[in-house]
Amino acid sequence: MLITGVTGTLGSELKKIFPDSISPSHKDLDICDPISIKKLFDNNKIDTVIHTAALTTIRGCEEKKSQAMKVNVQGTINLIEQFKNSNSSGKFVYISTACVFDGNSGMYDENSIPYPENFYSLTKLLGEYVVSKLKNSLIIRTNFVAKKQWPYPKAFSDRFGTYLFANQVAIGINDVLKEDLQGIIHIVGDKKISMFDLAKMTTDIEPMTLNDYSGPKLTIDMSLDTKRWKKYNILQDET
């Protein structure tokens, strides 16, 4: 198994569940460099790829669109092409986001129609498209944060999601892999809460609203539903 983005929030949790996985840092594997990827696949027998590496900041992707396309879309294409050449029947797992939807209504399930609100979301949806062409692919949409101190001084009281902590999403990915499912799966919490309510679980923090925000357009309601999988309780201790 190969895990990309292992230094990120979700990648580091997946490494705990799959300690024997190949999990190179960015300096050891540049997904924008096909030669770097080919070398890795040539030197290792890999049957599963879990692709978490991405540029994920909305403002950063908006300000550096070419870099966002290079990493989030072309990087994914590079991995797919080299993986197909190495193991045409292997499973490719792509970690996507709730933000592929417009956020106007919420509780989007696997059959809902995506409509990105910003450039980050667009790149993730384009990544989904290229992954979906594989015979043995799994696209996981989710919405998570690290179970640690909230990294900002405030949190939105009027943005919503069916959030989970990253360690719970990692467990959910393992659960889905055991069933050898394909297509699109939403790994979600069983309750829609605000971002402020989420932040309060780990940090004493003040609320803010979207009226206090200036920047690229945000997905307001990121809540996901699922028709293909179970839901997880964010309050349940999974550590």
How does pLDDT run across 98-143, given as a tens digit for each residue? 999 999 999 999 999 999 999 999 999 999 999 999 999 999 999 9
Residue 101 is part of a domain; what is its CATH number? Answer: 3.40.50.720
Total number of domains constituting the chain: 1
Instruction: List, for residues 37-72, the tens digit of each pLDDT value.
Output: 999 999 999 999 999 999 999 999 999 999 999 999
Helix-helix angle 34-43:75-86, to 10 degrees: 30
In this prediction, residues 164-190 reach a mean pLDDT of 98
Q: Is residue 225 part of a domain?
A: no
Neighbours of 44 (CB within 10 A): 12
Q: What is the pLDDT of residue 236?
A: 80
**Residue 212 domain-assigned?**
no
Domain that holds residue 42: 2-146+163-191
Q: Tell me whether residue 175 is in a domain.
A: yes
Check pLDDT > 50 for residue 238.
Answer: no
How much of the chain, in percent, has pLDDT values that exceed 90? 97
Mean residue pLDDT of the chain comes to 96
Residue 239 within a domain = no
The DSSP element (H or E) to which 95 belongs, if any, is strand 91-97
Give domain status of residue 127, yes or no: yes
Q: Name the residue type at position 98.
A: A
Establish if 211 belongs to a structural domain.
Answer: no
Q: pTM score > 0.85 for this model? A: yes
Examine residue 205 and state whether it is found in any structural domain, yes or no. no
- Which pLDDT does position 237 carry in this prediction? 59
- pLDDT for 239 equals 42
Q: Which helix H or strand E contains 38, and what residues bound it?
A: helix 34-43
Residue 198, in any domain of the structure: no
